[in-house]
């Protein structure tokens, strides 16, 4: 894609193919690789040596296992909603550990949205998460971290309870 296109349009894989034919070094293809099938198709169409995944990995760390399975001809089972939420919660824990409670909580809004994308009810879920995070952020204004920690702790408990209820309970009802 060109700079003018930004994230719109389709990646021009023919450019990758021309580069691969004109150089003797390994070439990595990038652009519009959103699945294992896309990776296989890009390699077949361009002759590139490997692929690079960008935005498709946001909220979908499983894409790499999917690509590996498709390239090796093995079966691939996508993650269940429960596995997606478990990963989002693990990511949440790591984010707050790395960046602190307030920044970690704010950062996780977009990540949680990516993790739940495609799950039934995801739009309402994202709206509720954003409302919760915004409320906590507003409560924390003017407070130092020591004063704010109980609010963040309560928020993370509420967030976890909400995510648990939304996915785990829904799955249990389907059985």
Query: Can you say whether the dihedral through the CA atoms of 13, 19, 21, 27 is positive or negative?
Result: negative
First to last CA, the chain: 45
Q: pLDDT tens digit string along 100-118?
A: 777 777 788 788 888 877 7
Looking at the chain, the number of H-run helices and the number of E-run strands are 8, 2
Q: Which residue has the tokens 């003018």?
A: 4
**Hey, what are 41's tokens?**
């198709």
Kindly give the interhelix angle for 122-140 and 101-116, rounded to the nearest 10 degrees: 170
**Hey, what are 35's tokens?**
């699945």
Residue ranges of the alpha helices (H) in the chain?
Answer: 13-22, 36-46, 63-72, 81-99, 101-116, 122-140, 145-164, 170-174
The H or E element spanning position 50 is strand 50-52
- Indicate whether 172 pLDDT > 80: no
**Hey, what are 25's tokens?**
């070094």
Give the residue among 14, 112, 102 at the shortest CA–CA distance from 59. 112
Q: Which residue has the tokens 């954003």?
A: 130
Percent of the chain beyond pLDDT 70? 70
Q: pLDDT tens digit string along 23-81?
A: 999 999 999 999 999 999 999 999 999 999 998 999 899 999 999 999 999 999 998 87
Give the residue among 56, 135, 137, 58 at the shortest CA–CA distance from 91. 58
Angle at 110 between CA 163 and CA 61, to 5 degrees: 80
- Indicate whether 138 pLDDT > 90: no
The mean of the pLDDT values for the chain is 79
Q: Is the pTM of this model over 0.85?
A: no
Q: How far apart are CA 96 and CA 104, in angstroms?
A: 4
């Amino acid at each position: 894609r060109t700079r003018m296109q930004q994230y719109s349009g389709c990646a021009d894989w023919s450019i990758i193919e021309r580069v691969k034919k004109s150089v003797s070094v390994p070439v990595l293809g990038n652009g519009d690789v959103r699945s294992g099938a896309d990776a296989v198709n890009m390699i077949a169409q361009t002759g590139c040596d490997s692929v690079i995944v960008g935005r498709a990995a946001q909220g979908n760390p499983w894409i790499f296992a999917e690509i590996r399975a498709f390239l090796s001809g093995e079966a691939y089972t996508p993650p269940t909603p429960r596995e997606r939420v478990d990963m989002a919660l693990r990511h949440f824990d790591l984010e707050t550990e790395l960046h602190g409670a307030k920044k970690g909580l704010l950062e996780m809004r977009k990540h949680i949205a990516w993790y739940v994308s495609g799950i039934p009810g995801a739009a309402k879920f994202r709206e509720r998460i954003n409302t919760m995070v915004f409320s906590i952020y507003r409560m924390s204004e003017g407070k130092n971290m020591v004063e704010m920690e109980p609010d963040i702790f309560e928020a993370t408990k509420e967030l976890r309870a909400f995510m648990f209820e939304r996915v785990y309970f829904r799955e249990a009802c389907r059985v």
